[in-house]
A = this chain, B = another copy of it.
Amino acid sequence: MSQIRHALNIKREEDFAQWYQEVISAADMAEESGVRGCMVIKPWGYGIWERIQRLMDDRIKAAGVQNCYFPIFIPLKNFEREAAHVDGFAKEMAVVTHHRLIADGKGGLIPDPEARLEEPLVVRPTSETIIGDAMARWIQSWRDLPLLTNQWANVVRWEMRTRMFLRTSEFLWQEGHTAHEDADDARTETQRALEMYRACAEEDLAIPVITGEKPENERFPGAVETWSIEAMMQDGKALQAGTSHYLGTNFAQAAGIQFQDREGTQQFCHTTSWGVSTRLIGGVIMTHGDDDGLRVPPAIAPQQVVILPMLRGGEEDAALLDYCETLRVGIAAQTALGEKIRVLLDTSHGKAAAKRWDWVRKGVPVIIEIGGRDMDNGVVSLLRRDQLWNDNAKPDFTVLSPADCTGAIGALLEEIQSGLHDEARARRDANITRGVTSMDAVTAYYTSDAPRPGWLEVQWCKPSGEELDGVVEALKALKLTIRNVPRDVAPADGNCIFTGKPALERILIARAY
């Protein structure tokens, strides 16, 4: 059997980290900007983000949450008043100290010493404290509750080691912030947001996730509960793809978010916050990418279908372009996944074969190539990105009539969407091992020769304080972390693998991004 000549230079099994970088570059998604820790998101990468935004925003609005916009700058005093929150964030923030530049007399520029800010401003790493100030102004009575807000924004966390989409100093995200009358209502909202993230990840991004609560040591600074969706990448590592926090009254007390309850008593609100970010795009790459580049799930593909005319630069091109345009119009009138199909007729410069492989690397779900002979025969040649190669190691084109192509395209895109999800779920499920009952077995699993160990589901006694510190250290020695306590699993029925005490919970442990 012939050898497939893949479209990337690096294969996943050779060097997953290098492969990841090559996908981003080969799919023209993003690049280093030259500004420390900040990336430039290019049209194909940003187009995927716009799709994720649109679909997530629809879900957010459907839940009655209203979008707002809050300042990028947060005064120092906001951080000073919330001790636990500061401990979590104070180490990695961009600080604005001056509001003017002046010439240094040597052809350069320096911050103007005369324009030093009395109080430095922090570029938001997250907005709990500044939105808390607004909530304190907006909320007087139980009638003002629940208050459900969200913002789409850029945030900055100074990172020493960065990796595009996964960990950058500046990133884009949405942050939901809500205030409630009581703990029950706030916890319900925390779970609603978590479920929204699960649905978006699985239905829109085709990334299967496990929802669960983070252990105490992994909580968001200042939170009472932190919940996450965890996804398994193709190298077996975990990616925390979204978090939802129940904050108790911690931030309400720091910011003075109070309300008069139904009995006329002043109470502190119970608040929540929840967010997902451009990190999701890293998750899409590491879940669906293959040795030919990215594969974008149709729901979030900026273009779902690309039509490539094999132009020859002669007079006969006009008729071929007409033939292609008729197909484009026909496909654009079709529906897939509840929306009109996004189809592009690519008439850009370049040879058809080179353009085909560019689109393969970008991961557009369907490519339709049409040459003069196809036109003469009244057919088109369709290539599915999720089933790229035939048994002879050649691109697996299907030849069909334009009418059949137009009629089938909606169902085909939906099949690709669910196929990507099923493939990822099967791989994920095959790589979660249950029934490991000792640390020795954990150590054996993660120090074996297997190149890409997956996750282990083990049982523990939910230790706290120093006992938990010991567990964290023991796992850290194996480069492992506790991902979460899955929500939808059987109750514990064994002993804690760390302490031997009766177990209280099942937890997932894994290496992680």
Contacts and interface: CB of A to CB of B under 8 A. Distances in A.
B75 A35 contact: yes
A99 B90 contact: no
Contact of A67 (B46, B99, B108): B46
Given A76-B101, A79-B101, A130-B35, A68 B40 contact: yes
A370 B149 CA distance: 29
B35 A74 contact: yes
B95 A68 contact: no
B71 A170 contact: yes
A72 B33 contact: no
A73 B155 CA distance: 12
A101 B109 contact: no
Nearest to A41: B69
Contacts of A97: 95-98, 111
Interface stretch (A118-126, A209-217, A241-249): A118-126
A86 B103 CA distance: 10
A443 interface: no
Size class of the contact patch on chain A: 35 or more
Contacts of A34: 75, 133
Nearest to A170: B72
A156 interface: yes
Nearest to A33: B71
Interface in A104-121: 107-111, 120-121
Interface of A: 31, 33-36, 38-43, 46-47, 49-50, 66-76, 79-80, 86, 90-103, 107-111, 120-123, 130, 133-134, 137, 143, 149, 153-154, 156, 158, 170, 172, 349-350
Contacts of A149: 43
Nearest to A141: B349
A143 B349 contact: yes
A109 B90 contact: yes
Contacts of A80: 107-109
B108 A72 contact: no
A71 B35 contact: yes
7 contacts: A34-B133, A35-B121, A40-B68, A72-B156, A73-B170, A95-B98, A101-B122
B95 A91 contact: no
Given A33-B134, A42-B68, 8 more contacts: A34-B133, A35-B73, A35-B74, A90-B101, A94-B121, A101-B122, A110-B120, A143-B350
A347 to B, nearest CB: 11
A76 B109 contact: yes
A424 B149 CA distance: 34
A121 B130 CA distance: 23
A38 B133 CA distance: 14
Contacts of A35: 71, 73-75, 121, 130
A102 B123 contact: no
Contacts of A41: 68-69
B40 A70 contact: yes
A71 B101 CA distance: 19
A68 B46 contact: yes
Nearest to A157: B99
Contacts of A69: 40-41, 46, 49, 172
Contacts of A74: 35
